[in-house]
Amino acid sequence: MNAVNPEYTSPDCLLRPGNTNCGGCGMSTALTMLGRALANEHYSLVIPACCGIVAAGAFPTTSYNVPVLASTFASSPAFATGVAAVNELNPRSDHQADHVICWAGDGGTYDIGMATLSAAAERNEDIIYICYDNEIYGNTGGQRSSATPAAARTTTTPGGKGETKKEIIEILAAHHVPYAATLSIAHPDDFRRKIRQSLEIRGFRFFLIHAPCPTGWKTEPADSVELVSLAVRSGVFPLYEVIDGLDYRINADPDGTDPAAYYARQKRFTGQEIDLERVKTSLKRKNRRLRELASLRH
Amino acid sequence: MNMQLVTGNHAAGHSMSLAGEANRTARGSVCGIYPITPQTEIVEFVARYPFSRGKVIPVESEHSAMGVCIGASMNGARSFTASSSNGLAYMAENVMVAAFYRLPIVMAAVNRTLGPPWNIWADQGDSLMFRDFAWVQLYCDTNQDVADTTLLAFRLAEDPRVLLPVMVCMDAFIVSHTSMEIELATQEQVDRYLPDCKVPHALDPAHPVTMGGMTLPQETLTHRTDLDAAMKQVPAALEEHRARFSDIFGREVSGALTAYRTEDADRIFIASGTISITLRDVVDEWRDKGEKVGMIRIKQFRPFPNEQLEELCRGAPKLAVLDRNYSAGTGGIFWQEVRASLQGRGDHLVQGYLVGVGGGDVVPETIREVVRDLGERSCVAAPIWKGIEQ
Give B178-196 pLDDT, tens digit per residue: 999 999 999 999 999 999 9
Is the per-residue pLDDT at A276 higher than 80? no
- pLDDT for A136 equals 98
A50: which residues sit within 8 A by CB, 6+ positions away? A104, A105, A107, A108, A138, A139
B93 touches chain A (CB under 8 A): yes
Name which of A57, A69, A119 is nearest B74 (Cβ-Cβ).
Answer: A69
Q: Helices H, strands E: what count in chain A?
A: 11, 8
B217 touches chain A (CB under 8 A): no
* Nearest residue in chain B measured CA to CA from A67: B208
* ipTM surpasses 0.85: yes
- pLDDT for B80 equals 98
Cross-strand bridge partners of residue A132: A105, A209
In this prediction, residue A5 has a pLDDT band, given cuts at 50, 70 and 90, of low
Name which of A57, A69, A74 is nearest B63 (Cβ-Cβ).
Answer: A74
Name which of A67, A90, A118 is nearest B204 (Cβ-Cβ).
Answer: A67
- pLDDT for A79 equals 98
**Interface mutation vs chain B, best among A42, A86, A96, most B CBs within 10 Å:** A86
CB B69 within 8 Å of CB B32: yes
Report, at the CATH architecture level, how domain B258-385 is classified.
3-Layer(aba) Sandwich (3.40)
The CA distance from B148 to B167, in Å, is: 13
- pLDDT for A1 equals 43
Is the per-residue pLDDT at A3 higher than 60? no
Single-letter amino acid, residue A214? P
Question: What is the mean predicted confidence (pLDDT) over A89-101?
Answer: 94
CB A252 within 8 Å of CB A210: no
Domain B3-249 CATH assignment equals 3.40.50.970: yes
The CA distance from A209 to A133, in Å, is: 6
Is A46 close to B71, i.e. CB distance below 8 A? yes
Report chain B residues whose CB lies below 8 A from the CB of A65.
Answer: 208
Cross-strand bridge partners of residue A43: A99
Query: pLDDT tens for residues A13-39?
Result: 899 988 889 999 999 999 999 999 999
Is B203 close to A44, i.e. CB distance below 8 A? yes
The average confidence (pLDDT) of chain B is 97
Burial grade of A180 (CB within 10 A; 0-12, 13-18, 19 or more): buried
- pLDDT for A17 equals 87
- pLDDT for A7 equals 63
Report, at the CATH architecture level, how domain A6-295 is classified.
3-Layer(aba) Sandwich (3.40)
Distance from B164 to chain A by nearest Cα, in Å? 18
- pLDDT for A4 equals 60
* Nearest residue in chain A measured CA to CA from B212: A70
Single-letter amino acid, residue A188? P
* Domain extents in chain B: 3-249, 258-385
The CA distance from A106 to A89, in Å, is: 31
Distance from B167 to chain A by nearest Cα, in Å? 20
A254: which residues sit within 8 A by CB, 6+ positions away? A232, A233, A234, A235, A238, A287
The ranges of chain B with pLDDT < 50 are none
Is the per-residue pLDDT at A291 higher than 90? yes
Half-sphere exposure of B115 (CA within 13 A, CB side): 13
Is the per-residue pLDDT at A2 higher than 60? no
Tell me the percentage of chain A whose pLDDT exceeds 90.
86
* Nearest residue in chain B measured CA to CA from A52: B213
- In this prediction the pTM is 0.97
Report chain B residues whose CB lies below 8 A from the CB of A84.
Answer: 71
Q: Which of A100, A46, A98, A101 is nearest to A70 (CA)?
A: A46
CB A130 within 8 Å of CB A104: yes
